[in-house]
Amino acid sequence: MLGYQSAGFLAYLGSDTEAGSLLAIPFDMVQYNAGNNYNPETGIFTVPISGSYLITARVYGSSYNAGHWIKIDKLRALLTANYDPDVKLASASTTIVLHLQKGQELSVDSTGSGSTLLAGWRGYEKSSFGANLLYPD
């Protein structure tokens, strides 16, 4: 019988954060971090066990010519986005299941020619990033 394997994390932005071009967003308020494979200083999760993962990301804030991406190693997948020009607020989110290999790195990146102020209001958990192992290989 195989033993139970746990890997995953969930983190939020603890305060409003200015996201520059091509930077991994450091979700610094860690709710849980099984195995300590998420680094809140860099915003990078290093996959500790090969298998199928549920990945979630949500960013909320002001956005001017900026995009938000889930980055897996060098590959990017665009988060679905919504922008309201009347209030100048944007949100993007995704929930996906992917097979990942041990050692791959995940992050949420902000890209574009403009600036983005991401909302990280304490108590509201507006912007978040997480991954959880569903089935190990």
- Looking at residue 6, the DSSP 8-state letter turns out to be -
| Nearest of 118, 114, 116 to residue 128 by alpha carbon | 118
Round to whole Å and give the CA distance between 52 and 100: 6
Give residue-wise pLDDT tens across range 60-69: 776 555 555 6
* pTM of the model as a whole: 0.80
Residue with the bigger pLDDT between 131 and 111: it is 131
Classify residue 121 as exposed, middle or buried by CB count within 10 Å of its CB (0-12, 13-18, 19+): middle
Asked whether the beta carbons of 128 and 121 are under 8 A apart, the reply is no
Q: What pairs with residue 45 in β-bridges?
A: 38, 106
**pLDDT score of 95:** 85
Report the chain's mean pLDDT, rounded to a whole number.
77
State whether the Cα torsion 16-39-74-12 is positive or negative.
negative
Give residue-wise pLDDT tens across range 1-53: 455 678 999 999 887 777 665 578 889 999 999 999 999 999 999 999 999 99
In words, the CATH class of domain 8-136 is: mainly beta
